[in-house]
C-alpha cells in the first residue's frame, strides 16, 4: 500500500466511519481522519484493513456540499485524484479528493451480479442469517453483557449494568473483601468496549497485580492489554516516538512506573484516555496537610480522563478522611471540603430511617418531615418513592458498595486455634508478636512450637491444599525452605520482591492439581506460604484451609488474609487454623480479635475504627509482657468485653446509617434477576453453535468435535478470511458458560466473543454471499417465470458512542418481485422460499443473467423505489423514539441536579449534544442493498 496525505481511504473493519483522509504518513504507521465521527485511527502501513477509494468514469459522486456529479474525466497529480463532471443541471465541476463527501457507502451486489460474480446459495443464506443476527444484537438491552466469562452473580451484573450504561461514569467500587470488585470492573470495561464507549483504556495497579490483571482481562473479558514498564516506554522513546502511550489502545501499568520515572507522567496525561482504572486506590495517601506523590499523580491524570473507576477497600476500613480523598478524585468540584461532606453524611442516617419506614409499608402521611421530602413526587407507590429519594439524596451515582449481607451463599468460617507452650531454651520476647524476627532461622525453626505444630498439621491434612500467611517476607522464605528441604513437604512461597514471573510460577505450582483431589499427592505444592504484602490481591479459593502463622494488630489485614480464600467462588467452608504462644502478645491479640471483634467467624467492615479506639490499651497490655511471664487476664477480659460492646454498637450504627443507603443504590435483587434472565435469553448458546458451524464450514475453517458443546477449530488450507484470534495450532472452544468457568484452557464462545464478532462483520461488510442464482419448481408460479429477491439494511454512518442502533437498527428488509414487477414479499416468505432454492450449473446461471440483464436492471430500480418509500416512516419513528428516551433522561437529570450535586454538568451537556447529533445522523440514514438472488421457476 502506498499512502499520500490527502488521499481517501475506507476501513474494511469499520465501514460505518465513512470515507477517511490520510493526515500523517510515517515509516510504519499511517494516520487516517474520519470526518463523519471526528476521530482518527492509526494503522500499520503493511497490514492496514483499508481500501483506496478511486472512482471510475460514469460513477455518480458527491462533494461535502452535497453537490452530485457524473464523473467524465479523472486527473492524477502527486498521488491525488481530481474528478471532472457535470451535475443534474449540466453545470461542470471539479472535485478534488479532499472535497469528496465522507458520507459514503458502496452498494456492490448489482455490480458483482452483472459482472458474472455469483456466490453459492448457502453463502447467500448465511449472509441473510448474519444480517438478522446483527439486527437482533444491535437491539439487545443487554448488549455488552453477553461476552463475559463469569458467573452471572446478581450483585455484579447489577452494578456493571448500572455503571457502564451511564455516560462517562466516574465511580468508586468499594465492595467488601471477596465480592469480586475486579470482575465488576472488567464487566464495565467489556461493556464500554463492545458499545464503543471506550476505545482507549489505562489501568494502574500495584506491581504485584500486573500479571493477574493482564490474565484476568484477557481470559474473562477478551480484552488484550499491553503492559508498559520502564523498558518498554524507554524503547519506544529511543525509536523516536514522541508520544509512547499513543502506540496502544489498552495499556496496563504499575503505578510505581510514574513515581520512579516522573518524566513519563506528561506523556500519559496527554495521551487521551476514555477510561482510567486504579486498583487498590486506598493506597493513595491523602490528608488535608499532606498529599502523597501517588495521589497527586492520579489526581492530575484523572482530570484528563472521561471515565474513572477507583477500586478500593470499604470506607469503614479507610476512615472518613481517606474515603473523602477518593471522592475528590471522582469530582473535585463536588467534593471540595471535608467538613461539608461530613455534615452532609450526618443527614443520611435520618433519611435511612425514613426509607426503612417506607420499606415496612408506612404511609408518607404518617410523618410530617417524610411528607415534606416526597411532596413533589408524583406517585403513591412506596418502591418508586424510595427510588426517587435515593436518586435525589444518595451518593449512589459515584459510590457503590455491596456487603456480604446482600450476597447469599458465602461459606462459613470455622476457627481452629491452638495454644502452644514455648520451650525454656527459646527465650522469646513475649511482648513481640513476631518473636522469630529476634533469632537466626536455624534457631527459631527448631525451637518455635508453631513450626512443629504446622508440620504435624500439614502431615495430617496431606494431600489437601493449605494456604499459610505470615507477616514478614523473611518468615515466609525461611519457612518455605524448611518445609521443602528438611520436612519433605511440597511447598512454595509468595512474598514482596519476587518478579511477576516468579509469582505466577509459584501460584501455578500451588494451583496444580487443585481440580482433582485424587491428584493432590502427585501434582503441585501442598502448601503456599505468603507474606502479608506478597499475598495482597492474589486469591486461592480452590483451597479451604488457612493457617494464620502469626497475627496482625490491624483487623483489616486479618480480614484481607481470610479474603484470599473466603470469597466468591469458594465452594467449601473455611477452616482457619491459628497457632499462638501462650502468655505472649500473640495470645492477647488472638483473644482481642476473636472474643472482641469475632473477626475469625464473621466479616468485619469497621476494623479500622475499632482498632483506632482500642489500639492504646491493646498495645499497653502486650507491652507489659516484656517484663512479665503471664498475661493480666483481668485486664484482657475487660478489654475484649469493651471491644465486643463497641463492635456491636458500631455495627448496629453502620446498619442504621449511610450503609443502607449505599446498599440500596448498589443492589436491587429484582432488577438483577431481570437482567440475568435477559442475558441468558440473549445468549442463545445453541443457536450460536449452529450458526458458527455454518460460518466455519463456509469460511474454510476446520472443526473437530471435542466434547459436549466444545470443539477444536483450526485454519484450513483454503480459508476465505483470516481470523485474528485463530491460532496456527488451533483453538479449543466451548459454547457452555459452565464449562468455560471450569476449563481455563477453553475459549468461551459468545455472541460478543471477538472471533464471533469478526465473523459477523466479515460476512456483513464484505462481498460474501451477496449474489446468487437459483432454481425452484413450484406450481404456485408460472413455469419459466423469474423472481428477483433483494435484501437491504439501513446504513447509518454515525458516532458509535451514540448507540443509534437502539432507535434505528440495521433492519434487514426483503423485497421479492416477479418478472412483471409484482411484489410477492409478503405472499412468499423467505422461510418458505429459501428451502426450495437449488443451485444451477454456473454456465446455465450465466446464460440467464446475460439474457435477462435489462429486465433485472429495471426490477432492481423498482425494488430500490419500494424500499425508499419505506425509509421515511422508519426514520421518523426512530427520531421520535430517540427524543422520547433521551429527552426523558435529560429532564430527569436536570431535575435531580437541583438536589443531587453528584450529577455533573458534562453529563447533561452530553445528552443535549447527543439529541442534536442523533437527529442529524438519523436523517442521513439510507437503505443499503445487501444481497441479490435471481430465481427461475422451472
Total residue length of the chain: 938
* Same structural domain, 731 and 695: yes
CA distances for 253 relative to 232, 258, 278, 358, angstroms = 11, 9, 10, 47
Cβ-based neighbours of 809, under 8 Å, separated by 6 or more:
135, 138, 139, 794
* Same structural domain, 347 and 292: no
Q: What is the DSSP string of 394-421?
A: --TTTEE---GGGS--PPPEEEEEEEEP
Q: Is the pLDDT of residue 253 over 90?
A: yes
CA distances for 750 relative to 743, 757, 805, angstroms = 15, 9, 20
Cβ-based neighbours of 679, under 8 Å, separated by 6 or more:
142, 145, 146, 152, 157
* Same structural domain, 451 and 591: yes
- Check: CB of residue 932 under 8 Å from CB of residue 771: yes
* Same structural domain, 461 and 586: yes
The answer to whether residue 672 sits within a structural domain is no
Q: Residue 593 and residue 585: Cα distance in Å, rounded?
A: 12
* Same structural domain, 313 and 267: yes
User: pLDDT tens digit string along 786-816?
Assistant: 999 999 999 988 887 788 888 999 999 999 9
Q: Residue 794 and residue 600: Cα distance in Å, rounded?
A: 61
The answer to whether residue 220 sits within a structural domain is yes
User: Which pLDDT value is given to residue 722?
Assistant: 86
User: Which pLDDT value is given to residue 610?
Assistant: 92
Q: Is the pLDDT of residue 693 over 60?
A: yes
- Check: CB of residue 72 under 8 Å from CB of residue 55: no
The answer to whether residue 788 sits within a structural domain is yes
- Report, as an integer, the average pLDDT of 224-248: 95
User: pLDDT tens digit string along 259-284?
Assistant: 999 999 999 999 999 999 999 898 88
- Peptide bond preceding 864 in cis form (omega within 30 of 0): no
User: pLDDT tens digit string along 585-610?
Assistant: 999 999 999 999 999 998 887 788 89
The answer to whether residue 679 sits within a structural domain is no
User: Which pLDDT value is given to residue 13?
Assistant: 66
User: Which pLDDT value is given to residue 545?
Assistant: 97
User: pLDDT tens digit string along 432-490?
Assistant: 999 999 999 999 999 999 999 999 999 999 999 999 999 999 999 999 999 998 888 99
* Same structural domain, 649 and 510: yes
Q: Residue 632 and residue 585: Cα distance in Å, rounded?
A: 11
- Peptide bond preceding 463 in cis form (omega within 30 of 0): yes
User: Which pLDDT value is given to residue 521?
Assistant: 44
* Same structural domain, 739 and 781: no
Would you place residue 329 in the very low, low, confident or very high pLDDT band (cuts 50, 70, 90)?
very high
Would you place residue 116 in the very low, low, confident or very high pLDDT band (cuts 50, 70, 90)?
confident
The answer to whether residue 345 sits within a structural domain is yes
Last residue of a domain, one of 356, 377, 402: 402
CATH number at residue 311: 3.40.50.10810
* Same structural domain, 66 and 178: no
DSSP class of 6: T
* Nearest residue to 925 via CA among 870, 843, 844: 870
Q: Residue 654 and residue 632: Cα distance in Å, rounded?
A: 32
Cβ-based neighbours of 852, under 8 Å, separated by 6 or more:
786, 819, 934
Strand pairing partners for 227? 252
User: pLDDT tens digit string along 332-354?
Assistant: 877 878 888 887 777 666 676 77
Q: Is the pLDDT of residue 516 over 60?
A: no
Domain range for 439 is 417-665
Would you place residue 167 in the very low, low, confident or very high pLDDT band (cuts 50, 70, 90)?
confident
Q: Is the pLDDT of residue 38 over 60?
A: yes
* Same structural domain, 163 and 69: no
Q: Is the pLDDT of residue 500 over 70?
A: no
Of residues 411 and 849, which shows the higher confidence score? 849
Alpha carbons within 13 A on the beta-carbon side of 371:
5
Among 320-329, 396-405, 632-641, the least confident range: 396-405
* Same structural domain, 176 and 322: yes
Would you place residue 385 in the very low, low, confident or very high pLDDT band (cuts 50, 70, 90)?
confident
Q: Residue 483 and residue 241: Cα distance in Å, rounded?
A: 50
The answer to whether residue 135 sits within a structural domain is no
User: Which pLDDT value is given to residue 671?
Assistant: 93
* Same structural domain, 861 and 916: yes
Q: Kindly report the pTM of this predicted structure.
A: 0.77
Would you place residue 844 in the very low, low, confident or very high pLDDT band (cuts 50, 70, 90)?
very high
* Nearest residue to 695 via CA among 720, 670, 678, 673: 720
Q: Residue 649 and residue 35: Cα distance in Å, rounded?
A: 62
Last residue of a domain, one of 355, 374, 402: 402
Would you place residue 518 in the very low, low, confident or very high pLDDT band (cuts 50, 70, 90)?
very low
- Report, as an integer, the average pLDDT of 362-370: 62
Three cell numbers at 119? 456466490
- Check: CB of residue 220 under 8 Å from CB of residue 212: no
Q: How far is CA 529 from the centre of its chain?
A: 32
* Same structural domain, 183 and 57: no
Number of domains in the chain: 6
The answer to whether residue 37 sits within a structural domain is yes
Would you place residue 520 in the very low, low, confident or very high pLDDT band (cuts 50, 70, 90)?
very low
% of residues, the chain, pLDDT over 90: 62
Q: Residue 258 and residue 267: Cα distance in Å, rounded?
A: 10
The answer to whether residue 148 sits within a structural domain is no
Chain mean pLDDT for the chain = 89
Amino acid at each position: 500500500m502506498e499512502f499520500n496525505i490527502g488521499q481517501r481511504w475506507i476501513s474494511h473493519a469499520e465501514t460505518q466511519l465513512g470515507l477517511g483522509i490520510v493526515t500523517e504518513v510515517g515509516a510504519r504507521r499511517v494516520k487516517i481522519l474520519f470526518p463523519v465521527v471526528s476521530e482518527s485511527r492509526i494503522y500499520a502501513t503493511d497490514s492496514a484493513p483499508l481500501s483506496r477509494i478511486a472512482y471510475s468514469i460514469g460513477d455518480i459522486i458527491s462533494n461535502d456540499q452535497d453537490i452530485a456529479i457524473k464523473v467524465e474525466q479523472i486527473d492524477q497529480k502527486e498521488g491525488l485524484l481530481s474528478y471532472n463532471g457535470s451535475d443534474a443541471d449540466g453545470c461542470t465541476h471539479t472535485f478534488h479528493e479532499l472535497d469528496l463527501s465522507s458520507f459514503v457507502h458502496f452498494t456492490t451486489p448489482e455490480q458483482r451480479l452483472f459482472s458474472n460474480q455469483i456466490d453459492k446459495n448457502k453463502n447467500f443464506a448465511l449472509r441473510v442469517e448474519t444480517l438478522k443476527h446483527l439486527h437482533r444484537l444491535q437491539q439487545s438491552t443487554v448488549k455488552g453483557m453477553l461476552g463475559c466469562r463469569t458467573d452471572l452473580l446478581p450483585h455484579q451484573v447489577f452494578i456493571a449494568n448500572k455503571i457502564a450504561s451511564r455516560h462517562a461514569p466516574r465511580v468508586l467500587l468499594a465492595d467488601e473483601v471477596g465480592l469480586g470488585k475486579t470482575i465488576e470492573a472488567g464487566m464495565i470495561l467489556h461493556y464500554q468496549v463492545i458499545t464503543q464507549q471506550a476505545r482507549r483504556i489505562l489501568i494502574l495497579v500495584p506491581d504485584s497485580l500486573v500479571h493477574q490483571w493482564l490474565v484476568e482481562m484477557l481470559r474473562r473479558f477478551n480484552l488484550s492489554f499491553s503492559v508498559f514498564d520502564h523498558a518498554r516506554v524507554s524503547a519506544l522513546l529511543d525509536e523516536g516516538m514522541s508520544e509512547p502511550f499513543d502506540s496502544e489502545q489498552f495499556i496496563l501499568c504499575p503505578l510505581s512506573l510514574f513515581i520512579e520515572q516522573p518524566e513519563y507522567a506528561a506523556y500519559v496525561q496527554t495521551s487521551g484516555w476514555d477510561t482510567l482504572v486504579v486498583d487498590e486506590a486506598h493506597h493513595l495517601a491523602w490528608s488535608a496537610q499532606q498529599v502523597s506523590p501517588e495521589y497527586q499523580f492520579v489526581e492530575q491524570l484523572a482530570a484528563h480522563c472521561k471515565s474513572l473507576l477507583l477500586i478500593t477497600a470499604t470506607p469503614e476500613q479507610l476512615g472518613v478522611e481517606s474515603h473523602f480523598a477518593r471522592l475528590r478524585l471522582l469530582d473535585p468540584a463536588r467534593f471540595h471540603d471535608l467538613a461539608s461532606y461530613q455534615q452532609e453524611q450526618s443527614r443520611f442516617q435520618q433519611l435511612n430511617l425514613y426509607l426503612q419506614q417506607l420499606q415496612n409499608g408506612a404511609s408518607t402521611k404518617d410523618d410530617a418531615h417524610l411528607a415534606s421530602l416526597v411532596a413533589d413526587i408524583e406517585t403513591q407507590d412506596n418502591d418508586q418513592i424510595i427510588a426517587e429519594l435515593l436518586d435525589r439524596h444518595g451518593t449512589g451515582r459515584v459510590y457503590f458498595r455491596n456487603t456480604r449481607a446482600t450476597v447469599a451463599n458465602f461459606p462459613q468460617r470455622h476457627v481452629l486455634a491452638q495454644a502452644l507452650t514455648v520451650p525454656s531454651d527459646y527465650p522469646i520476647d513475649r511482648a513481640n508478636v513476631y518473636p522469630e524476627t529476634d533469632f537466626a532461622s536455624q534457631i527459631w525453626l527448631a525451637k518455635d512450637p508453631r513450626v512443629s505444630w504446622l508440620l504435624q498439621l500439614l502431615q495430617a491434612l496431606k494431600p489437601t491444599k493449605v494456604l499459610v500467611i505470615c507477616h514478614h517476607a523473611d518468615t515466609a522464605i525461611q519457612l518455605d525452605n524448611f518445609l521443602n528441604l528438611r520436612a519433605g513437604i511440597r511447598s512454595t512461597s509468595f512474598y514482596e520482591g519476587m518478579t511477576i514471573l516468579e509469582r505466577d510460577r509459584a501460584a501455578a505450582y500451588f494451583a496444580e492439581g487443585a481440580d482433582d483431589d485424587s491428584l493432590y499427592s502427585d501434582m503441585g505444592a501442598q502448601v503456599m506460604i505468603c507474606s502479608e504484602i506478597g499475598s495482597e490481591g492474589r486469591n486461592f479459593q480452590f483451597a479451604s484451609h488457612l493457617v494464620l502463622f502469626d497475627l496482625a494488630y490491624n483487623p483489616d489485614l486479618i480480614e484481607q488474609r481470610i479474603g484470599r480464600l473466603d470469597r466468591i467462588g469458594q465452594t467449601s467452608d473455611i477452616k482457619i487454623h491459628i497457632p499462638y504462644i501462650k502468655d505472649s502478645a500473640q495470645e492477647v491479640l488472638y483473644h482481642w480479635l476473636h472474643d472482641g471483634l469475632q473477626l475469625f467467624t464473621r466479616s468485619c467492615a469497621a476494623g479500622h475504627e475499632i482498632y483506632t479506639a482500642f489500639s492504646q490499651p491493646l498495645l499497653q497490655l502486650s507491652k507489659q509482657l516484656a517484663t512479665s511471664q503471664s498475661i493480666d487476664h483481668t485486664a484482657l477480659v475487660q478489654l475484649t468485653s469493651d471491644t465486643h460492646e463497641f463492635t456491636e454498637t458500631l455495627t448496629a450504627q453502620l446498619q442504621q446509617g449511610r450503609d443502607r443507603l449505599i446498599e440500596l443504590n448498589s443492589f436491587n435483587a429484582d432488577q438483577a434477576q431481570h437482567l440475568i434472565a435477559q442475558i441468558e435469553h440473549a445468549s442463545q448458546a445453541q443457536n450460536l453453535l449452529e450458526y458458527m458451524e455454518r460460518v466455519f464450514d463456509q469460511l474454510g475453517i476446520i472443526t473437530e468435535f471435542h466434547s459436549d458443546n466444545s470443539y477444536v477449530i483450526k485454519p484450513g488450507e483454503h480459508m476465505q478470511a483470516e481470523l485474528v484470534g485463530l491460532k496456527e495450532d488451533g483453538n479449543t472452544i466451548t459454547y457452555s458458560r459452565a464449562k468455560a468457568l471450569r476449563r481455563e484452557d477453553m475459549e468461551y464462545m459468545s455472541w460478543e466473543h471477538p472471533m464471533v464478532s469478526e465473523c459477523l462483520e466479515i460476512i456483513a461488510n464484505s462481498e460474501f454471499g451477496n449474489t446468487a442464482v437459483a432454481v425452484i419448481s413450484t406450481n404456485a408460479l408460472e413455469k419459466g417465470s423469474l423472481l428477483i429477491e433483494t435484501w437491504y439494511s439501513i446504513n447509518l454512518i454515525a458516532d458509535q458512542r451514540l448507540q443509534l442502533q437502539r432507535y434505528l437498527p440495521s433492519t434487514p428488509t426483503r423485497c421479492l418481485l416477479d418478472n412483471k414487477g409484482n411484489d410477492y414479499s409478503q405472499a412468499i416468505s423467505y422461510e418458505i422460499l429459501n428451502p426450495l432454492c437449488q443451485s444451477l450449473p454456473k454456465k446455465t446461471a450465466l446464460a440467464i443473467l446475460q439474457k435477462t440483464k435489462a429486465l433485472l436492471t429495471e426490477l432492481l430500480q423498482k425494488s430500490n423505489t419500494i424500499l425508499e418509500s419505506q425509509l421515511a416512516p422508519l426514520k421518523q419513528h426512530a427520531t421520535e423514539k430517540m427524543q422520547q428516551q433521551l429527552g426523558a433522561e435529560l429532564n430527569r437529570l436536570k431535575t435531580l441536579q437541583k438536589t443531587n450535586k453528584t450529577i455533573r454538568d458534562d453529563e447533561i451537556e452530553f445528552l443535549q449534544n447527543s439529541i442534536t447529533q442523533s437527529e442529524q445522523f438519523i436523517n442521513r440514514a439510507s437503505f443499503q442493498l445487501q444481497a441479490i438472488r435471481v430465481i427461475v421457476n422451472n
